[in-house]
A and B are shown apart, each in its own frame.
Chain A
Amino acid sequence: MASLLEVKGLKTQFFVRGGRVRAVDGIDFRVNRGETVGIVGESGSGKSMTALSILRLVPEPGKIVEGSITFDGRDVLAFNDDELRKFRGNDVAMIFQDPMSSLNPVLKVGFQIEEAMKAHDRFTKEQAKERVPGLLSRVRIPDPKRRADEFPHQFSGGMRQRVMIAMGLSNEPGLLIADEPTTALDVTVQAQILEQLRDLNRELGTAIVLITHNMAVVASICTWVVVMYAGRVVEQGPTEAIFAAPQHPYTWSLLRSIPRIDEKLGSKLLTIKGLPPDLTNLPPGCKFHPRCLFAVDRCLTEEPELVTVGPGHESRCWVQMKNVKDPDADLRETPLVADEEAADAAAV
């Protein structure tokens, strides 16, 4: 079955005074119909730029310099202005990180949702207007008729994000891209929004690309994970495989740095040393090696290719975590308390 979205060899760069920032440096992934794919990475990994590239919304001075983006068999990068306009908000919709600033403050919420529909030929003006309360109640906004007549500043953060989702889904797109939809929200609201997205995926069959820096978010709704670092895919695969046995040291470190309730008291929490790389001045060899706990000599000079490490599961590493004997070793060096018994006694 042909995939819904296929990204191959995508390179997006920014031409600034200091040089060329390689925000996205050759990535491949695909999204099948009805699938939920998570793209994970820290700031500067290129995940947001990937999303913007799909809709060709890369801001100046950035440009997509190489690669192909195919949606439903059509070449997105070859669209003319009119085709691009019909593609956006219709075939693929996008919701953004900060719902506070992503909605126009001077226009009514209902109008903004109507507008999304009127821009494309799927509904008439009257139909569009009628659909609004339905869309709002689908994302569980109470009293939708009245609220459609209100302005964004009259909504809370979580509700604004729901409005964005409603707006994004108004034309029943095949794919919804959500760029860090929960980062600006409280933890409790986060859970609600994620649940909302999961329900919509199940009910409508809309494929979702969820972009985040938070592995926990990915675990809750994604079936496929793409891990990015310095503009490249460093690991990719089914969610269970990635979480059960991460092969790339970066993925492994990300998972190990989340505190878990079943850990022994006194074991150290991993932090990834160093800072995100300077994208105008990347190190040779593997881009992650300056921060990697398991680097060997080869990592400093040769950049690894993607290696298949399981069914559908690839990792870009010379070492691969499965070959590391005792990765948690140095984390057990200095416990916080002298011994376990004292710790248990103290806890009682």
Chain B
Amino acid sequence: MSTITTGLNMGGPMAPPGTPEEVDYSVAPEQVSLWQDAWRRFRRNKLSMAGIVVFGLIALIAIVSIFWTPYSLFQQGLGDITDPFSRAHPFGLDASGRDELSFLMRGAQVALEVGLLTAVTTSVVGIAAGLLAGFFRGWVDTLISGITYIGYGIPNLLIAFLILFITNRPSIVNVIVALSVTSWMDMARLVRGQTLALREREFVEAARATGTKDFKIMTRHVLPNALGPIIVQATFLIPQAILFEAFLSYLGFGLPNPDPSWGAMVSSGLGDRFLAYHTIMVPALALLITLMAINFIGDGLRDALDPRQAK
């Protein structure tokens, strides 16, 4: 950053207070790193910041619910079913007389657990596969690309069904595994594309010329430069996983009873829809708010990390 000074005394008694003695006509604006720049732009996006706040709240509720909920999930027959909002049960009761609020809180925990763990697992597997395929090409690439191609042709949810169908034992681990098995291929394809482009760049060539080991090149050089789109994709994996889990629970393939998942709540609520609307609306709204919040965050991240908007 070069500056051009005038060599003229700009201070003195007539100058406004705070004027430096020599004025600096810098010709380049302040330089910031890519991440700082992105963070600044992200902060300016009000919807994304709102999303973070909401997500934080939900995470808080989820954590609390592990240790405490107003009522146990197994307690039934707690009161009048059709009474939506009472002091003892702020969100009413479901058809079996169980406290909706407790289910709602636990549902948050399930959603976040499934969402985050699936996103993490998918990302790890996907990034590894994509890096290997893109970097080494050859038979590794053919194999991985072949698998992702076949996987691309089948609706993810249906593969998840198949896995759950076969294992036939509802548990949260099975759900996460089923979801991850279907989703890693999208991430792998993205990372592969990025790797293919990046490996031709000069800095990779330079690293190779200095004898850097392949693994180091992949993790220290290629991966950090591909992180932008990866982070965005990973963020969108969370609501996708939550949505899928809601679908599965809705169709009865989710967790064992009592299933606090919001999808299951909507499902059971639908059966009673002419008894009490709140059993449908409350978990549906919870799903909606959570998914929207995370999607806003993802959108904000995508705009913030867009290289075309970088200074």
Contact A283 B6 (CB under 8 A): yes
In the complex, what residue of chain B is closest to A283 when comparing beta carbons?
A: B25
Interface string of A256-286 (1 = CB under 8 A from B): 0000000000000000001111100101000
Using C-beta atoms within 8 Å of the partner chain, give the interface range for chain A: 10 to 19
Shortest beta-carbon distance, B186 to chain A, in Å? 29
Shortest beta-carbon distance, B16 to chain A, in Å? 14
A184 contacts B by Cβ under 8 Å: no
Contact B25 A290 (CB under 8 A): yes
A18 contacts B by Cβ under 8 Å: yes
Shortest beta-carbon distance, B13 to chain A, in Å? 17
Q: How far is the CA of A210 from the CA of B2 in the complex (A)?
A: 32
Interface of B: prevailing SS: loop
Give A residues with C-beta under 8 Å from B: 18, 274-278, 281, 283, 290-291, 300
Q: How far is the CA of A190 from the CA of B54 in the complex (A)?
A: 59
Having A275-B2, A283-B25, one finds 19 other A-B pairs with CB under 8 Å, namely: A18-B29, A274-B2, A274-B4, A274-B27, A275-B27, A275-B28, A276-B27, A277-B25, A277-B27, A278-B25, A278-B26, A278-B28, A278-B29, A283-B4, A283-B6, A290-B4, A290-B6, A290-B25, A300-B8
In the complex, what residue of chain A is closest to B44 when comparing beta carbons?
A: A17
Interface string of B1-21 (1 = CB under 8 A from A): 010101010000000000000
Interface string of B268-288 (1 = CB under 8 A from A): 000000000000000000000
A residues near B27, Cβ cutoff 8 Å: 274-278
Q: How far is the CA of A277 from the CA of B26 in the complex (A)?
A: 9
B residues near A278, Cβ cutoff 8 Å: 25-29
Contact A281 B8 (CB under 8 A): no
Q: How far is the CA of A131 from the CA of B6 in the complex (A)?
A: 59
Shortest beta-carbon distance, A272 to chain B, in Å? 12
Q: What are 23 pairs between A and B in contact, CB < 8 Å?
A: A18-B29, A274-B2, A274-B4, A275-B2, A275-B4, A275-B27, A275-B28, A277-B25, A277-B27, A278-B25, A278-B26, A278-B27, A278-B28, A278-B29, A281-B26, A283-B4, A283-B6, A283-B25, A290-B4, A290-B6, A290-B25, A300-B6, A300-B8
Q: How far is the CA of A283 from the CA of B26 in the complex (A)?
A: 10
Q: How far is the CA of A300 from the CA of B8 in the complex (A)?
A: 8
Q: How far is the CA of A96 from the CA of B6 in the complex (A)?
A: 38
Q: How far is the CA of A278 from the CA of B29 in the complex (A)?
A: 9
In the complex, what residue of chain A is closest to B8 when comparing beta carbons?
A: A300
In the complex, what residue of chain A is closest to B25 when comparing beta carbons?
A: A283
Q: How far is the CA of A276 from the CA of B27 in the complex (A)?
A: 7
- Which of A275, A276, A291 is packed against the most chain B CB atoms within 10 Å? A275
Q: How far is the CA of A290 from the CA of B28 in the complex (A)?
A: 15
Shortest beta-carbon distance, B22 to chain A, in Å? 12
